[in-house]
Amino acid sequence: MKEIILCKYGEIVLKGLNRGSFEAALQRNVRRRLKPLGKIGLRSGQSTLYVEPLEDGIDMDEVFERCKKIYGITKLCRSVGVEKNIDAIFGVVCERFDGALRSAKTFKVEVKRSDKSFYLTSPELAAQLGGMVLERFPHLKVDLFEPEVTVVCEIRDEGAFIHDIAVDGAGGIPVGTSGRALLLLSGGIDSPVAGCMMAKRGAEISAIHFEAPPYTSERALMKVERLAKKMAEYCGHIGFYVVPFTKIQEEIKNNCPEDYFTLIMRRLMMEIAQRIAERDGMMALATGESLGQVASQTMTAMVTTDAVCRIPVFRPCIGLDKKEIIDMAYKLGTFEISIEPYEDCCTVFTPRHPKTRPALKDVEKAQAMFDFEPLIEEAVQNTRVKTVKAY
């Protein structure tokens, strides 16, 4: 039997005249993600992307796992396609579900008929197939509500497709349909979640990380790169920028009031990030901030940070509590990496009593105690960049 993965569209079907560009973007992303696995064919029809191996030896388990992480696919299933003939359909059901039906006590047949020209209605085909299954496996009983085995048959324009219950895909819309954004990626739990949330809404994500050796270690940087690699399974290739930040942090410590260390640091991070974003054609910044989570994430603190920004700053985690963010991090596979005990530059020179309700004029006055412009430009010029791929 030749296996075909059916990837069902979600929001794409609502896109009207723009639908074609969304479908094309999804196909590009799927093709890029699956290319290392061998020759795989893609075709689109009836709000579904058909993913089919074109040579022997394709690891369809891996194909399926990768497709589950591609934004734009809401449901997917591993199916077998046959001609629209009741005997051919039943033959596939017996072959594909033989072991499961022999060991089960209950089953049901579910039919979806998008080809309305087929000579049987959905209930009629379900009844016929169910009767044939009962004749072949007389120990079974029909259970329409909690069956142990569900046999699904879809009658589509190009054939019949038999599979079990579809599983959830990543949802959202295809990456690359909503512009480019630069994510401030720390080693924590929140920012990888924020980056994936942006990608789910179609943004092409790059990531920027600030290192401060010797206060931060090479292992801390490796940890963040591993986070980017895990994110890339959902986001696609990620441009990974590493900014040398030690000199700036030392001058903040030496020249600015301690209570304002974190606020000034974040303002300078935003300035550096937006210069790189503007230079490299990205339209916005993104962060993992959640309102009120820590001192630098109060509303007044974020206002003072955003005062330096000339481009939009997106905060997709802004209304989530910590448990919700952790749950999403578990699902994405980033949580275990995030909690590894390697420091990042945000923990360097942390003030004992940070300002939680700073006045913008006071922050600007504290920052003006030292001319950071030459160091900002030096950091931008010395930023390293590489591409992080998922596979």
pLDDT score of 178 more than 80: yes
Q: What is the mean pLDDT of residues 164-176?
A: 97
Query: HSE on the CB side for 23, CA within 13 Å?
Result: 20
Average per-residue pLDDT for the chain: 95
Angstrom CA distances, 352 to 83, 177, 259, 349, 380, stand at: 72, 44, 7, 9, 29
Q: What is the DSSP letter of 296?
A: G
Bridge pairing between strands 149-156 and 159-163: antiparallel
Q: What is the mean pLDDT of residues 240-259?
A: 95
Under a CB-based contact definition with an 8 Å cutoff, are residues 156 and 114 in contact? yes
Q: What is the mean pLDDT of residues 338-363?
A: 80
Whole-angstrom Cα distance, residue 12 to residue 10? 5
Res. 296 pLDDT band, cuts 50 70 90: confident
Per DSSP, what are the bridge partners of residue 75? 8, 168
**Per-residue confidence (pLDDT) for residue 250, from 0 to 100:** 94
**Per-residue confidence (pLDDT) for residue 311, from 0 to 100:** 97
Helix (H) or strand (E) holding 7: strand 3-9
SS (H, E, C) 352-386: CCCCCCCCHHHHHHHHCCCCCHHHHHHHHHCCEEE
Please report how the helices 299-306 and 261-279 are oriented relative to each other, as an axis angle in degrees rounded to 10: 40
Scan for tokens 């979806």, then name that residue. Answer: 112
Per DSSP, what are the bridge partners of residue 6? 50, 77
Angstrom CA distances, 269 to 18, 106, 120, 302, 346, stand at: 36, 60, 64, 13, 10
Res. 341 pLDDT band, cuts 50 70 90: confident
pLDDT score of 344 more than 80: no
Its sign, for the CA torsion 158, 163, 165, 171, is negative
Res. 351 pLDDT band, cuts 50 70 90: confident
**Per-residue confidence (pLDDT) for residue 391, from 0 to 100:** 87
Helix (H) or strand (E) holding 313: strand 313-314
Q: What is the mean pLDDT of residues 70-92?
A: 96
**Burial group, residue 163, by CB count within 10 angstroms (0-12, 13-18, 19+):** buried
Domain 180-388's class?
Answer: alpha beta
83: Cα separation from own chain's centroid: 36
Global pTM exceeds 0.75: yes
Whole-angstrom Cα distance, residue 332 to residue 298? 27
Nearest CA to 259 among 141, 126, 358, 121? Answer: 358
Q: What is the mean pLDDT of residues 95-104?
A: 96
Q: Distance between terminal CA atoms of the chain?
A: 28
pLDDT tens for 190-210 read: 999 999 999 999 999 999 999
**Per-residue confidence (pLDDT) for residue 97, from 0 to 100:** 96
Residue type, 264: I
Token pair of 245 as six digits = 């930040």
Please, what's the largest Cα pairwise distance for the chain?
Answer: 86
pLDDT score of 72 more than 90: yes
Domain 3-168's class?
Answer: alpha beta
**Per-residue confidence (pLDDT) for residue 348, from 0 to 100:** 65
- Phi then psi for 158, rounded to 5 degrees? -95, 0
User: For the chain, what are the domain ranges?
Assistant: 3-168, 180-388
Q: What is the DSSP letter of 238?
A: E
Report the alpha-carbon angle 96-29-172, nearest 5: 85
Q: What is the mean pLDDT of residues 169-188?
A: 96
pLDDT score of 115 more than 90: yes
pLDDT score of 347 more than 80: no
pLDDT score of 356 more than 80: no
**Per-residue confidence (pLDDT) for residue 367, from 0 to 100:** 96
pLDDT score of 360 more than 90: yes
pLDDT tens for 260-294 read: 999 999 999 999 999 999 999 999 999 999 999 88
Residue 76 or 356, more confident: 76
Under a CB-based contact definition with an 8 Å cutoff, are residues 332 and 193 in contact? yes
Its sign, for the CA torsion 315, 67, 171, 319, is negative
pLDDT tens for 40-60 read: 999 999 999 999 999 999 999
Q: Residues of 331-349 as b/e, b for ≥16 C-beta within 10 angstroms? A: ebebbebbeeeeebbbebb
Share of the chain above pLDDT 90, in %: 90
**Per-residue confidence (pLDDT) for residue 353, from 0 to 100:** 73
Token pair of 190 as six digits = 């929140």
